[in-house]
């Protein structure tokens, strides 16, 4: 088995508005899949359809490469939106309740879950007195009951302080590495997801804008060599014909940005000068993760090509 989740043309309509539109997603076994989008982009609606809490308007879902969703959903765990914990119960009482509701034997299971999420020492403290990070970890423990192979977490770091974010992040990594759980985690904070995810899907207004790996993200956010010249078309000809550089873009009347050639700035400048192109400046410019995310949300990504 390679894929834990596959969707084809998945769509959810609310009246005439599509909350999720014709969405094709592929989550491989072992992935930590970062599902990125602004609030209201369709992330929660998508997860609700996968977990069986909302009925798709059209499209197909496969879990573990099977269309038998009733049985395959037994192999999944889900935490959606606000932590589903009972405020007047302790962590142990919450887990006991959910074990009984799910038909699971609480003997041994509760202690294992409390230890796994770092809540062993909460004792008689009620959940209403927990920090938000503790509530999130308790909700993840609930989602882990039944020993799922695929875990879907909807905005688990939203609203957390730096300590809470770090605790949840470390827990997710441990679940993936030690328990071999495939995880889909939705968030609007790309910077945090970049610390744990190995694949990404970006959703905007219900449409999956892009899917890419962590390596592709690194490449896309890598620095570019920005060269200002007196003859931009002549410089483009030198790059493509003399240096066989294909990945560049003319930005304006005197600026070219070149990908993947940061370490060759000296050679590029010498070749341009040798061919009568005056270089007024040459510098490395970059784009941070949040900047790249905003670009995906607001405009098409730049296509680099020979001009």
pLDDT of residue 287: 65
| pLDDT score recorded for residue 251 | 87
Enumerate residues 6+ apart whose C-beta is below 8 A from 244. Answer: none
Does residue 105 contact residue 99 with C-beta atoms inside 8 Å? Answer: yes
Give dist(CA 141, CA 144) in Å, integer: 5
Bridge partner list, 34: 185, 200
Dihedral through CA 65, CA 66, CA 71, CA 74, nearest 10?
A: 20
Q: What is the pTM of this model?
A: 0.78
Mean pLDDT by 10 residues, the chain (307 residues): 94 95 96 92 96 96 97 95 85 95 90 93 94 92 94 91 90 94 91 89 92 84 84 92 88 87 86 92 76 66 35
């Amino acid at each position: 088995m390679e894929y834990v989740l596959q969707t084809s043309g998945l769509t959810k309509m609310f009246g005439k508005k599509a909350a999720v539109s014709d969405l094709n997603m592929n989550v491989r076994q072992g992935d930590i899949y970062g599902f990125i989008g602004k609030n209201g982009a369709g992330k929660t609606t998508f997860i609700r359809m996968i977990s069986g809490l909302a009925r798709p308007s059209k499209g197909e879902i496969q879990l573990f490469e099977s269309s038998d969703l009733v049985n395959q959903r037994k192999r999944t765990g889900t935490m959606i939106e606000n932590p589903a914990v009972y405020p007047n119960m302790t962590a142990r009482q919450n887990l006991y309740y959910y074990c009984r509701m799910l038909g699971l034997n609480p003997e041994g299971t509760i202690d294992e879950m409390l230890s796994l999420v770092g809540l062993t020492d909460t004792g008689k403290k009620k959940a209403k007195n927990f920090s938000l990070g503790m509530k999130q970890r308790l909700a993840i423990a609930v989602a882990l009951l039944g020993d799922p192979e695929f875990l879907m977490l909807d905005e688990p770091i939203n609203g957390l302080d730096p300590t809470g974010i770090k605790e949840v992040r470390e827990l997710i990594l441990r679940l993936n590495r030690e328990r071999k759980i495939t995880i889909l985690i939705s968030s609007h904070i790309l910077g945090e997801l970049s610390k744990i995810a190995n694949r990404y899907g970006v959703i905007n207004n219900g449409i999956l804008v892009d899917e890419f790996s962590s390596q592709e993200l690194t490449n896309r956010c890598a620095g570019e060599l920005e060269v200002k010249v007196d003859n931009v078309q002549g410089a483009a000809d030198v790059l493509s014909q003399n240096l066989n550089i294909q990945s560049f873009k003319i930005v304006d009347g005197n600026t070219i940005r070149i990908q993947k050639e940061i370490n060759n700035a000296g050679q590029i400048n010498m070749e341009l000068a040798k061919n009568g192109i005056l270089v007024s400046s040459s510098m490395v410019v970059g784009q941070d993760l949040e900047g790249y995310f905003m670009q995906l949300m607001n405009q098409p990504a730049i296509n680099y090509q020979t001009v």
